[in-house]
Amino acid sequence: MKEGLIIFSLLFLAGNYLAYKEKISAALCFALVLAGEIMAMVSLYSWQGYSRQLLWVSCLVFLFSVIAFLLPHWLPNLNLLIWAEITFLVQTGTFILYRIDGSLAFRHIIICLAGLLLIWPVQAVIKLFSSAYRFHLIYYVLAVVLLLMNNVTRYGATNWTQIGDFVFQPSEFVKILFSLFLASYLLREYRLKVFIRATVLSFAVIGILVLQRDLGGAFIFFTIYVVITYMYSHNKWLLAVQFAGAGGAAVASAFLFTHVRVRIISWLAPFAYAENEGYQIVRSLQALMNGKWLGTGLGYGQPARIPVVTSDFLFAAIGEEYGAIYLLLFVLHFCFLILLLYNQCLKSQNKFYFYAGTSLTTMLAIQGFLIMAGCSGMIPLTGVVLPFVSYGGSAMIGNFMIAAMIETMTKAGYQGPRLEDVFGSSSRFFAQIEPGDQMQVKALAKYIRILKYFIFGLYLIFTLYLIWLYAIWVMPVI
């Protein structure tokens, strides 16, 4: 069974590439996804036997796949390959979650279905208003208000909000608002004072995250800031200064925050502190090594030994039960999704959509790298979740909103009422500028190429690290 999962994953990747080159139909890729799902279901049934809960989860995963396949036929201009890749990530995450906690997997796939259905309202809102780029102040105020609502501390960071019995993570939605704010605020021709104001406002948001000890989130927001300001300023020296500043901030955080220091210690010498600071990463590495190249098979690993496995360490659980070969293919699938999203950004008709889509795509790419590299010991842990895979209601809904926005915003010519017609053209909430035409966006296309090279270079290094880890690294026995 485990060999079959690897084969279908490989065939799906090859099929996606051929469909991307328009050699075969994208519908065939979905057929391969469904075949992989059936193989995973059979593996779980052979391990556990008949279970009503497993039947429900399997049916809901199948329903998700069918809806994702039909979406591009129901809604105009959606890319079928993007939703095929998202379906692959969702079904992998759901089945490995079922292995750990069946009820959690059930809630997870329900959340994914809800996120999938959000595409309709997201498209409707974006199509309704043709001048959302003027709403920069509202984006910013909402972002700050949502962050200041955080009142629950988990794992050292105060990045959750509880209202009655309802608990959610506002930063997952603030990422979107923050990106829209910068994309709309920096539409003007480059001016130093505009850049300085944007920087001050951005670092105020990032500062709130730092004070709340959500340093992983702060880094993600910093990534959005760097991407958009670089496209705005075209200044390589400024980019170098920003990276140097980020490095200095990382060093300072190790001295200022205890939980950051613990993560660095556990990264540098995990086995020396295997029963204390390094417990999480050691268990994660043991899970990866226990899976070896072909995996233990679904149901035959011990992923529950890893603390916080359902959110922070699901990548290690996948490596244990699916194996290293599947894990490497999984990384390639994630990279291919990022490539497809970048290509969607190139279809933008104005700078606002281009800035927002490019920054959100890069954010997903960096977030995926941070958690996968952290789980495998390449870099210190950051506490972010794996997009479209890990359990987390706020994160999953936020991911689907981002994918829907990129798919919708980057399409040509939506005609609808202008926001200033609704709120008044003289309102101070609007930037009195135009977002530019397609010619301006074409001039920015080189930044997509730069980002592609950077992201794929990053993932290439990570892939080589994983191969090295499995090929020559010897796991100490604890």
Contacts with 256 (C-beta within 8 Å, 6 or more apart), sequence order: none
pLDDT at position 22, please? 82
Beta bridge partners of 167: 162
Beta bridge partners of 161: 168
Q: How far is CA 334 from CA 66, 328, 337, 401, 451, in A?
A: 21, 10, 5, 17, 15
Instruction: Give the rounded percent of residues in the chain with a pLDDT score beyond 90.
Output: 35
Token pair belonging to 150: 């955080």
Token pair belonging to 218: 């702060």
Closest by CA position to 430, among listed 41, 157, 133, 187:
133
pLDDT digits (tens, 9 = 90+) for 251-270: 787 777 776 777 787 787 77
pLDDT at position 426, please? 43
Torsion of CA 332, 352, 68, 453, to 10 degrees: -10
What's the average model confidence in pLDDT over 46-62? Answer: 89
pLDDT at position 380, please? 86
| Crossing angle between the packed helical segments 52-74 and 26-48, to the nearest 10 degrees | 170
pLDDT digits (tens, 9 = 90+) for 275-298: 777 788 888 888 988 888 888 888
pLDDT digits (tens, 9 = 90+) for 117-170: 988 888 888 777 667 778 889 999 999 999 999 888 777 777 888 888 888 888
pLDDT at position 419, please? 39
pLDDT at position 438, please? 55
pLDDT band at 436 (very low <50, low <70, confident <90, very high): low
Its domain, for residue 258, covers 1-478
CB 408 within 8 A of CB 126: yes
pLDDT band at 205 (very low <50, low <70, confident <90, very high): very high
pLDDT at position 86, please? 95
pLDDT digits (tens, 9 = 90+) for 69-107: 998 888 877 889 999 999 999 999 999 999 999 999 999
* Whether residue 475 has pLDDT greater than 70: no
Instruction: Give the rounded percent of residues in the chain with a pLDDT score beyond 70.
Output: 90
The more confident residue out of 135 and 348 is 135
Closest by CA position to 92, among listed 72, 112, 77:
112
pLDDT at position 234, please? 81
pLDDT at position 69, please? 92
pLDDT band at 200 (very low <50, low <70, confident <90, very high): very high
Name the helix (H) or strand (E) containing 1: none
Q: What's the CA gap between 148 and 250, in Å, rounded?
A: 23
Q: Which residue has the tokens 């509202």?
A: 138
pLDDT at position 279, please? 83
pLDDT digits (tens, 9 = 90+) for 206-236: 999 888 888 888 889 999 999 999 888 887 8
* Whether residue 443 has pLDDT greater than 60: yes
* Whether residue 421 has pLDDT greater than 60: no
* Whether residue 424 has pLDDT greater than 90: no
> In sequence order, which ranges of 313-437 are alpha helices (DSSP H)?
314-322, 324-345, 351-375, 393-409, 419-423
Give the number of domains in the chain: 1
Closest by CA position to 357, among listed 395, 320, 403, 322:
403
What is the pTM for the complete model shown? 0.90
